[in-house]
Amino acid sequence: MVDDLGWTVDSLRWTAGGRRQTAHVWFVDLSNESTVNQCFKLLSSDEKERADRFRFEKDRQHFIIARGALRQVLSLYLSEKPNTLQFEYGEKGKPFLPKNPLQFNLSHAGEIALIALTKNHIIGIDVEVINPKVEVEQVAQHFFAKGEINRLMSLPKTQRHEAFFNCWTRKEAFIKATGDGLSFPLDQFEVTLKPNEKAELLVTYFDENEYEKWSLFDLKIQEGYKAALAVKGKIEEIKRMNWRPRL
C-alpha cells in the first residue's frame, strides 16, 4: 500500500523498537524549470561536471533537479545542509553515504523522479515511461529469464505491454538495489509480471536462497508510467511524500 502523505518533516523520522518496517518514496516533478538554477548550486563539482556533459538541455535540467531534490530530501533526514553532503560510490556507481544507516536510491524517467529511502535496508527503485512502440516480445527474448518469457508469451497480446513493463521495472529495481546495475545478468533471476499479480522475486538462479530475502512492490505513480521498489528485508509499509523545493 502506498500512502499519499503531505510533506512534513515529522513524518520522516524512524524510531527504534516496535515500529513497522517502513520505506519512504518521494515523488519529484522534473518539469518545474524554475528550480534548475537553485538546484545546480546544491550540487558537488563532479555532479556539475556530469550535468554539463548532457547533450540535450532538457536531460541536463532533469538531472540537476533530480540530484538537487535528492540532496534536499537527504538533508531533511540527516539535519545537514544539502550542499555539504558527500557521497561515495560503489564499484558500479551507486551512491551511498559512508558510515550512515540511511539507504537511498534515485530513478527518473520522463518528467518524474522517485527517491526511495530506508533505514538499514538495501533499496532500489525504478520508474519507466510506458512506451507503446517497444517491441516487448523481442526485447524480452534478449533480456528476460526463460520462465518470464514463457509467462509473457502465454498472455493475450493486449496484456503483454503492461506485463513487460511490470517485469522490467521490478528487475531494474532489484539490480539497482544490489548496486550492480545492468552488469547483473537479467536472466539470472525471475519476477512476477502478470497484470494485477503481486510483485515478487520468484527465483534467484545465482543463489537458490537469495529470493527469500527480498521484498518487491509496485508503485502507482500516474498514467503513462510504471514503477517498482525492491528492498532487502521485510517492509510492511510504504509512505509517499511529494518533494517541494526549499529554495
Going by C-beta distance under 8 Å and a sequence separation of 6 or more, which residues neighbour residue 117?
23, 24, 25, 26, 73, 74, 77, 102, 103, 104, 123
CATH number at residue 126: 3.90.470.20
Q: Is residue 231 part of a domain?
A: yes
Query: In the block, which residue shows the cell 536472466?
Result: 187
| Helix H or strand E encompassing 152 | helix 146-153
**86-134 pLDDT tens trace:** 999 988 888 999 989 999 999 999 999 999 999 989 999 999 999 999 9
Q: Is residue 140 part of a domain?
A: yes
Share of the chain above pLDDT 70, in %: 91
Could you give the CA distance from residue 66 to residue 234 in angstroms, rounded to a whole number? 27
Mean pLDDT of 156-169: 97
pLDDT above 80: residue 32: yes
In this structure, the number of other CB atoms found within 10 A of the CB of residue 92 comes to 14
Containing domain of residue 85, as a range? 2-242
Share of the chain above pLDDT 90, in %: 79
Q: Is residue 247 part of a domain?
A: no
Using pLDDT thresholds of 50, 70 and 90, give the confidence band for residue 247: low
Residue 224 Cα to chain centre, angstroms? 16
- pLDDT score of 19: 62
Using pLDDT thresholds of 50, 70 and 90, give the confidence band for residue 11: very low
Q: Is residue 142 part of a domain?
A: yes
pTM of the complete model: 0.91
Q: Is residue 64 part of a domain?
A: yes
Query: In the block, which residue shows the cell 556533459?
Result: 53
**210-222 pLDDT tens trace:** 999 999 999 999 9
Going by C-beta distance under 8 Å and a sequence separation of 6 or more, which residues neighbour residue 17?
none
pLDDT above 80: residue 1: no
Q: Is residue 23 part of a domain?
A: yes
Could you give the CA distance from residue 127 to residue 190 in angstroms, rounded to a whole number? 19
DSSP 8-class letter at 202: E
Q: Is residue 32 part of a domain?
A: yes
Could you give the CA distance from residue 62 to residue 216 in angstroms, rounded to a whole number? 27
Our count of domains for the chain comes to 1
